[in-house]
Structure 1
Amino acid sequence: MIRKYPGQALALTIMLAACNHQPANQKEHAIPQVVEQLNPMRLVPSGQFEMGADDDTGSPDEYPKHLVKIDSFWIDEHEVTNAEFAAFVQATGYVTTAEKPISKEEIMASMPPGSPEPDSLDLLPGSLVFVPTTTAVDLNDVSQWWSFERGASWQHPNGPGSDIKDKEQHPVVHISWDDAQAYAKWAGKRLPTEAEWEYAARGGLKNQPFPWGTETPQMSKGRTNIWNGHFPYENSEVDGFYGTAPARSFPANGYKLFDMAGNVWEWTADWYDHNYYSQVKPGTLNPEGSRTPNDPSDDPRNTKRVIRGGSFMCSDEYCRGYRVSARMKTTPSSGLSNLGFRCARSAN
């Protein structure tokens, strides 16, 4: 998913200048006290694991399964919440991508040569909001349930008139990769690599498809916040939530980490490369992903970062991103109703 503009087809995207890849061993400073109190970090022990799909249900980019070695690192107990992000904004005055007017150059960079220039309304800030349908729709057409809403942002997740009152402990959403990077730097942390994220999500289990083992969320109720029913028009809410859920609403995994499946997708540090798993050397220590983004299914100008974990919109009939090996990708400027992040920190 990517930041979109009114009047443009959903296939059209923008490309912001991406920040340099942030290595896992970058220098980190002190964590603000408010962050330590709101979201303690858990130490993930060093070790090795087989990264990639655990069975034949994975997507092509989840193969081949390969051995990865990971040094010990710290990772947030849960996804960064509205309360944490509000503390960051209050301390720094930071303005998110979704709150900034869109530049004409931004749009034109994503358009084919000779395209007409956008009008002034197309330059108003906003973000993509999930709008459920009333009946069954073609699940290959994401435009059926995504709407670019002017004024939508982390403080107004459903657009103007909405707010985050009483949702302080819910994960912050409508956060771009650049926003997540800015927060992480302020918090004395960084984004986890894709390998670190999957290792942490597995919680010490070996070759299991979910953070809790082998049972699907549908078979084992109360494990995570996903879409129960028929997406995108009927959600039975058997897990207790229609949209996002507060942090710690479901059991933690073996590393005492919450929501490593479902709730909201989470940014990682890595560029997305569809073929990376076939290129990485088995047994690599602390892999940092591909240096060259590659998504053969899209315009090469639309470089993407990896997101992990699935969201409240994932179901058995659509997405299944709650599997620990599931990979998804989106452009760094993306802001969505179901996209947030958590941070990591090197142990040494």
Structure 2
Amino acid sequence: MKKASRLSVKILPLLPALLLPLSGHSVTAVAADAVAVELRGSQILGPAQQDLGEADWLARLNNWKRDTQGQYPAWLQAMQSWRNTQRASMGYDDAQYRRPELRWTQRDFVQTQAMVEDRYLYDPATQRYTVPRFLDDLRQRYGGIDSVLLWPVYPNIGIDDRNQWDMLRDLPGGVNGVRALIREFHAQGVKVFFPTMPWDTGTRDAGSSMHAATTALMAEVGADGINGDTMDGLPLEYRQAADASGQALSLEPELNFKDDRMLAYNQQSWGYWGSSLVPMVSKWKWLEPRHMVHVCDRWATDRSTLLQDAFFNGSGIQSWENVWGWWNQITPRDGEALRRIATIYRAFPEHMVSVAWQPHVQTLHYGVYASAFPLSDSTLWTIINRTDWQISEPVLRLPHQPGQRYFDLWQGRELQPRIVDGDAELEVTLEAHGYGAILRLRAGASMASLPATLQVLAQQARKPLAAYAATWQPLPQQMVAIAPTRAARSAPAGMVEIPAGLFSFKVHGIEIEGENKPGLDVQYPWEAVARRHHLHSLAINRFYMDVHPVTNAQFQTFMRASGYRPADAHNFLRHWVDGAPRAGDAQRPVVWVALEDARAYLRWAGKRLPHEWEWQYAAQGSDGRLYPWGNRWDSRMVQAPEQGRSLTAPAPVGQHAQGASPFGVQDLVGSVWQWTSEFADQHTRAAVLRGGSYYQPQNSYWYFPQAYRLDQHGKYLLMAPSRDRAGTIGFRGVQDAGD
């Protein structure tokens, strides 16, 4: 409480004058000897990168002419002057970076964002979190992580009225289960973040402010940090609420700070960085070297430039691979580079936050760039090679004092410099688009851990990065088989015949992000790779389909007859009271049933779920119509949408018979989402939902999108029944037909 109060005195009265805008192409801040400091968002241009007034195409053409070496002294002077002016203008106070309980943020070098649905993190078969498996995989592939951002919300949020905090509480085991999950990560030295979504204002009202609800839940589960999704800096209220909760929380916004003063109490951030031949400098790390930026590009399948930019700046890395269920695995080459970078970071953490950091120290080669991280008894240089060729020559020339020792950290060996006119020339091998690191110890200095570190690095360097595969491949998916039913010779009660026919199955996924990347959406058995857009001709066998979605009354009959009780009962039929539907709800579609619950009912009834193409054929017929009733949306054919923050019940079935499909199937669109096919890859399970629902949460682009058109489907990530059940997902059955 006292620390939060003292911080507010320092920050709140500051005038906004002199704060620089953070968007746009260029801001000239301070000049020294005609060299300007120019910003590109959260980055600063390096020497000789400044806009010379030529057209963009000519600037790219002339890039090779720019003399970064000659501009360096004046550029560094301008940078230092700009930093002093900027820190003074915002009344900078570093108190948050001196807090002992948050010093770990300065060693949080590798963070990954992990979907809670990832099958390496949670095993639905055993209903257990599998933290050792998750972490062992990352250690094996790229050396492991220092923190994890667990993601339990988007893209499923908005399927019903559960808010962002409800989604976390619905994880397997509830709050106690999450608390135990975090303890498992802590036992292996990994800190845990959860996100907060400022845009989540259309689901259930939590009854308190967003910062209060978030920090209270983080304290309850024992988390270490908050990631501000879409936030350009977490406001001071989050820092104050976190400190008031008694939980020491790191604040980490996704986007660039909208106000430079936020640097004082957001100890970490993400960096969506632009890149160029001459690497740019992190604005936030230059202003505060202890600030940890995690450089991120979730969609990049080649991360080599991202890794180089981070290593040049001594910045952290966001190793995000499961991107909303699209698996973007780090290639073996990039994974091995990350392992070696992280090994150096973790062995020399104090160097990486040196207040005397100097980016763009002079090197001896075009296309080779270096940063120096000095401490009192040693200096570490990180080096990147932007060229397409290997360099095996002297790279740095440094002032030399007798007794100084030099080490090639990247290769794990001591260097014997060539002394020329009092300078040490240091020769290292830099692979094409590769990395290097040099450590200099002053005379008489020693590091007890250095021999063991060199041994590890030498072992890693035995195989060059070029020997590792650099080609990215999408992860193959499999469609979960649906067993056929006993064949019926005529339509069972409540079902309608769907005749055999040749069907042009044309559908696309409506995921908000991902463009048309291979591996996105789903992969049908006839496709070589998952993709968003699908078209295939199918011969459909005759079958029978339920005229309406399964109702509460029908599901109650099943419960009484079978004695069915799910192993994971959280949220199961949560809209019922004392084991029965509410009065008046008997003929409404049953909801709050997981895929497993629906399958259990259908087995009991002698039915099965429809394949997605069967559902679409029954809804569309053979003429490719966009809606069951035709090609124009008609709101009279469906239930009136619910757009409030509290979920109401779906309408009883059969009230919109005029909206039936050509085969007489009703309540296909705008009633409840309906379970169909399931898909799985090595990391993610997902179900295709069809028909959309009546619930439309407002105020945000990021809620689970509707798919009312018959050529659209939703992809719903699966984790565990407790989490998968929703107030807007129901189902209907089909039965195979005999001769």
Q: Shorter-chain-normalised TM-score: which range?
A: 0.5 to 0.7
Q: CA deviation at 1:340?
A: 0.9
Letter in 2 for 1:322: Y
Q: Within the alignment, does 1:50 sit opposite 2:517 as a pair? A: no
Specify the alignment match of 1:63 in structure 2. 533
- Distance across 2 between alignment mates of 1:92 and 1:4: 27
**Match of 1:249, as an amino acid?**
Q
Structure 1 residue 266 and structure 2 residue 653: aligned?
no
Question: 1:80, 1:209 → 2: CA distance?
Answer: 24
Asked if 1 retains the 8 angstrom alpha-carbon contact of 2:508 and 2:713, the reply is no
Query: Which residue, out of 690, 693, 712, partners 1:311?
Result: 693
| Structure 2 residues not aligned, in runs of 5+ | 1-155, 157-166, 179-193, 197-321, 325-478, 522-531
1:167 counterpart residue number: 585
User: d(CA) in 1 for partners of 2:697 and 2:504?
Assistant: 25
- Per the normalisation by structure 1, the TM-score is 0.60
- In the alignment of these two chains, the number of paired residues is 247
CA distance in 1, matches of 2:629, 2:567: 35
- Structure 1 or 2: more helix by fraction: 2
Q: Secondary structure at the match of 2:589?
A: coil
Separation of aligned partners in 2, 1:86 and 1:168: 9
Corresponding position: 1:335 with 2:725? yes
C-alpha deviation, 1:330, in angstroms: 3.3
Q: Which residue of 1 aligns with 2:331?
A: none
Q: Secondary structure at the match of 1:222?
A: helix
Alpha carbons 2:510, 2:713 under 8 Å: kept: no
Kept in 2: contact 1:226–1:315 (CA 8 A): no
Q: Report what 1:96 is aligned to.
A: 566
Work out which of the residue numbers 196, 213, 221 in structure 1 matches 2:614.
Answer: 196
Separation in structure 2 between the aligned mates of residue 271 and residue 95 of structure 1, nearest angstrom? 22
Distance (whole Å) between structure 1 residues aligned to residue 689 and residue 510 of structure 2: 21
Is 1:347 the counterpart of 2:514? The answer is no
| CA offset digits 1:193-238 (Å, max 9, x no partner) | 1111111111x2512221111112xxx222112526xx45599xxx
C-alpha contact 1:227 1:315 (8 A) present in aligned 2: no
Secondary structure of the corresponding residue to residue 304 of structure 1 = strand
Spell out the pairing of 1:237-276 with structure 2 (5 A cutoff): 242-251=648-657, 252-268=660-676, 270-272=677-679
Superposed displacement of residue 301, structure 1: 3.4
Amino acid of the structure 2 residue aligned with 1:206: D
Output the amino acid matched with 2:693: S
Distance 1:55 1:178 in 2: 23
Q: Quote the Cα distance in structure 2 between the aligned partners of 1:90 and 1:66.
A: 42
CA distance in 1, matches of 2:485, 2:579: 40
Mapped contact 1:49–1:206 kept (Cα < 8 A): no
Q: Deviations over 1:40-63 (max 9, x none)?
A: 110000112221249999995451
Q: Is the 8 A contact 1:225 1:311 kept in 2?
A: no
Partners of 1:28 and 1:341 in 2: CA distance: 20
Where does residue 185 of structure 1 map in the other structure?
Answer: 603
Aligned residue type for 1:208: R
Note the 1:141-152 alignment, pairs <5 A. none
Q: Which structure ranks higher in relative contact order (CA pairs < 8 Å, sequence separation ≥ 6)?
A: 1
| TM-score normalised by L of structure 2 | 0.30
- CA-based RMSD: 3.8
Q: Deviations over 1:152-211 (max 9, x none)?
A: x32x31889995221000011111111111111110111111111111111x25122211
When residues 195 and 93 of structure 1 are mapped into structure 2, their CA distance, relative to the original with a 3 A threshold, is: same
- Is the contact made by 2:487 and 2:737 (CA closer than 8 Å) also made in structure 1? no
Give the corresponding residue for 1:320.
706
Which structure has the greater CA radius of gyration?
Answer: 2
- The answer to whether the Cα contact below 8 Å between 1:54 and 1:209 also exists between their aligned partners in 2 is no
Q: Which residue of 2 aligns with 1:25?
A: 484
1:212 alignment counterpart: 629
Q: SS of the residue aligned with 1:68?
A: strand
Deviation of the 1:26 alpha carbon = 4.1
Counterpart in 1 of 2:59? none
Partner of residue 79 from structure 1, selected from 549, 555, 576: 549
How far apart in 2 are the matches of 1:161 and 1:84? 14
